[in-house]
Amino acid sequence: MAVRITPEECAQALMESLPAVMRFLRRGMRRHSNPALSVPQYRTLTFLHRHPGASLTQVAVDLDVTRATASSIVNRLVGHGLVSRADDPHERRRTVLTLTPRGLRLIQQAQEGTRARMQAALTGLTADELHTIAVAIDLLSRQVKDGPPGGES
């Protein structure tokens, strides 16, 4: 360990560099799916792939957005014919969301394209470096999730 990093420098580095990484992912998604998907749309589709029949609230929790936000995201996906929305007969307030066949095809296409693009970007890194990245991602996501006490909004 060469240099001692402060939380402040770490925060600074995140602010400076993370947006570029996100942009990289976003642009890849736009290029490798037709119609183009946004990151939240992509995440919604993969969530519904893993959890067929999920409710709107479950989507909102997974994305960590308000129900209003999730509603408009889902609404656009329904409009594009990628998600189907039905009423739950037993719980009539609830909504049952599932991928349409077209949504399934699209998410598979997008996942493959995004993975290929990312793999290309990571080519040339050593196994050690890849490991460093994986560990860092894991650390970061757990820290921001369990979050500081007195956390979100």
Nearest approach, Cβ of 73 to DNA (angstroms)? Answer: 4
| 23 part of the interface to DNA, by CB under 7 A | yes
Contact string (CB under 7 A) for DNA, positions 42-81, x = contact: -------------xxxx----x-xxxxx-xxxxxx---x-
Task: Decide if residue 29 touches DNA (CB under 7 A).
Answer: no
User: Between residues 65 and 96, which has the closer beta carbon with respect to a copy of itself?
Assistant: 65
Collapse the DSSP code of 76 into the 3-class scheme (helix H, G, I; strand E, B; otherwise coil) and give the result: helix
Report, in Å, the least distance between residue 83 CB and DNA. 11
- Residue 64 Cβ, how far from a copy of itself at the closest point, in Å? 6
Show contacts of 43-49: CB within 8 Å, 24+ apart: 44/70, 44/73, 44/74, 44/77, 44/83, 45/77, 45/82, 45/83, 45/99, 45/103, 45/106, 45/107, 45/110, 46/107, 46/111, 48/83, 48/97, 48/98, 48/99, 48/103, 49/99, 49/104, 49/107
Q: Which does 8 bind (CB under 5 to 8 A by kind): DNA, a copy of itself, none?
A: a copy of itself
Question: 131 in helix, strand or coil?
Answer: helix
Report the C-alpha gap between 18 and 20 in whole angstroms: 5
50 binds, among a copy of itself, DNA, none (CB under 5 to 8 A by kind): none
Residue ranges binding DNA (CB under 7 A) = 19, 23, 38, 40-41, 55-58, 63, 65-69, 71-76, 80, 85, 90-95, 153
